[in-house]
Structure 1
Amino acid sequence: MNYESLYELAKTWTKEAGENLRKSVQETIEVEFKTSASDLVTKKDREIEQYYATKINQHYPDHFILGEEGTVQNQEYNFAEEKVWVIDPIDGTTNFVNQKMNFAISVAFYDKGEPVMGIIYDPIKDELFHALKGKGTYLNDEKISPLQEVTMAEAMISVNSLWTIPNEKVDEKKLYPIIENARGVRYIGSAALEIAWIAVGRIDAYIDFRLSPWDIGAGIILIKELGGEATTLMGNEINMTNTSTTLFSRPGLASEIRQYFN
């Protein structure tokens, strides 16, 4: 199939969806809670996901959609055998509600389990990070240079502060040496943006222990096209059908980080 035309369409749709969100931050945002007071969903999450579903069904009726909000249901397919769009309509919904910034749209396309294209759009800053397999990664119209190696002492690391206190997922003490040895530790609150920021050098690595496919679907190809690493914490390929640990980083830095978890 023609991936170039699919890529161009996806960028156009994402800019349109972003304009919708940019206008909506000035309005009253209707909020619902999914699993807890910190797990939010808004009317806009569902509206944007439905927007993509409508566009995809019009242009590519044989494709499948994996979205955070479950707008498209009753689909039965094998991710490794089909053409699948992976969509997070608002990654960083809490930021969208509270800060009116630091959120993003994340859209990716996978063909038989392989990432073909990815888009992460920050509508407030009008920053469109995008990549097509074999063509490199761009910020708006400017091609981004391949990622260079840095040491832990030079690195800005992003990690969710929830993992630095006692929890059921990871021994928080394993993070202490990273926090102590890195140049700095930050947390934005949007996995997609944190990955996109690695692409342009604002941070150097992003660690998480429980991310879903739609959080990272676009980020994987953005970083791989720049020669960076996008794996589980153990260095394995990320499972795009389930939640998993994740490590995105500049080349070389990942091995330094992994030594604390092995």
Structure 2
Amino acid sequence: MTDPLHTDLLDLAQEAARRAGVLLRDGRPADLAVAATKSSPIDVVTEMDIAAEKLITGLIAEHRPDDGILGEEGAATEGTSGVRWVIDPLDGTVNYLYGLPTWAVSIAAEQDGETVVGVVAAPMRGETFHAVRGHGAWDGERRLACRPAAPLEQALVSTGFNYVADVRAHQADVAQRLIPLLRDIRRGGSAAVDLCDVAAGRLDGYYERGLHPWDLAAGDLIAREAGALTGGRPGERPSGALAVAGTPGVFEPLQRLLEDFGAWHD
């Protein structure tokens, strides 16, 4: 039986993600990538991002006013209930800008510092992933399971790159060294969706440096509840230094290579 509190948190997270996803999907101008009503297309994306976070935090405050909140667009309240929401209202902003479908609303709920609920809604893909700690990971009514163990040389692995040129150059070097050792590498553009794709068996692994808590929180729980392993540098939890997820057969050798190749520093 799911803890009634966790059920309530899941219901609220799903409704908030659904509403924010509709706002972002239906509010995106058709010509966003080439023209905008503001000074640049980026301004419009930022406005949509902020509007989505305001919608989410407003709904949470209405139902659970004593909870804490940490949001990408600046929402930060301590709360007194022991529950904190970690929110990325639009993960994959460049994809959103260009009209690519891989962007998502990511909402996680922590209880006493541990993530207990995660929801990642990808409206343009028609998918909403969710997990409650200890109760598996799901895409709607379909239970998710990561891929069967495969050797690293047969692994399809996704990653992401920083927007700072010097950092990207080092990350490209790491990827270049990895590619001959894997089946192939992908760059999806949304950390939350990549983690869910590991959970859904579409990727064998994923890694990235430079993520924030709101990028990771929901997707990390969903991946783990689908049977994947997650971490950072060896013996550490996922963090801004490095986040790694993978099937049980891929996770440790991938993590070791990333350590050897210095993926954890710029």
TM-score by length of 1: 0.85
- Give the aligned residue type for 1:110: E
Counterpart in the other structure of 1:255? 252
Structure 1 unaligned regions, length at least 5 = none
Contact 1:38–1:94 (8 Å) recurs in 2:
no
Matched, 1:44 2:25: no
Q: 1:170 offset after TM fit, Å?
A: 5.3
- Give the aligned residue type for 2:137: T
- Give the aligned residue type for 1:250: T
Counterpart in the other structure of 1:192? 192
Counterpart in the other structure of 1:206? 206
Match among 18, 22, 47 for residue 19 of structure 1? 22
Q: 1:175 offset after TM fit, Å?
A: 3.9
- Give the aligned residue type for 2:62: Q
Rounded Cα–Cα distance in structure 2 between residues aligned with 1:169 and 1:234: 24
Alignment length, in residue pairs?
251
- Give the aligned residue type for 1:82: G
- Give the aligned residue type for 2:148: Q
Q: Deviations over 1:107-162 (max 9, x none)?
A: 00001111101011110121001101111000111111354212112211112356
- Give the aligned residue type for 2:179: I
Percent identity over the alignment is 28
Question: Secondary structure of 2:227's partner?
Answer: coil
**RMSD of the TM alignment (CA)?**
2.8
Q: Deviations over 1:67-120 (max 9, x none)?
A: 0000x34x3479xx9311000000011111112421000000001111101011
Rounded Cα–Cα distance in structure 2 between residues aligned with 1:27 and 1:171: 33
Structure 2 unaligned regions, length at least 5 = 261-266
- Give the aligned residue type for 1:47: A
Matched, 1:98 2:102: no
Question: Secondary structure of 1:148's partner?
Answer: coil
Rounded Cα–Cα distance in structure 2 between residues aligned with 1:143 and 1:154: 24
Show the 5 A alignment for 1:61-80: 61-70=65-74, 72-73=75-76, 75-76=77-78
Counterpart in the other structure of 1:221? 221
Rounded Cα–Cα distance in structure 1 between residues aligned with 2:142 and 2:122: 16
Show the 5 A alignment for 1:126-165: 126-145=126-145, 147-160=147-160
Contact 1:84–1:110 (8 Å) recurs in 2:
yes
Rounded Cα–Cα distance in structure 2 between residues aligned with 1:168 and 1:189: 14
TM-score by length of 2: 0.84
Counterpart in the other structure of 2:11? 8
Rounded Cα–Cα distance in structure 2 between residues aligned with 1:76 and 1:169: 37
Contact 1:170–1:209 (8 Å) recurs in 2:
no
- Give the aligned residue type for 1:105: V
Question: Secondary structure of 2:148's partner?
Answer: coil
Alpha-carbon spacing, 1:107–1:169, altered in 2? closer, same or farther (3 Å): farther
Rounded Cα–Cα distance in structure 1 between residues aligned with 2:195 and 2:68: 24
Question: Secondary structure of 1:252's partner?
Answer: helix
Counterpart in the other structure of 2:263? none
Alpha-carbon spacing, 1:233–1:176, altered in 2? closer, same or farther (3 Å): farther
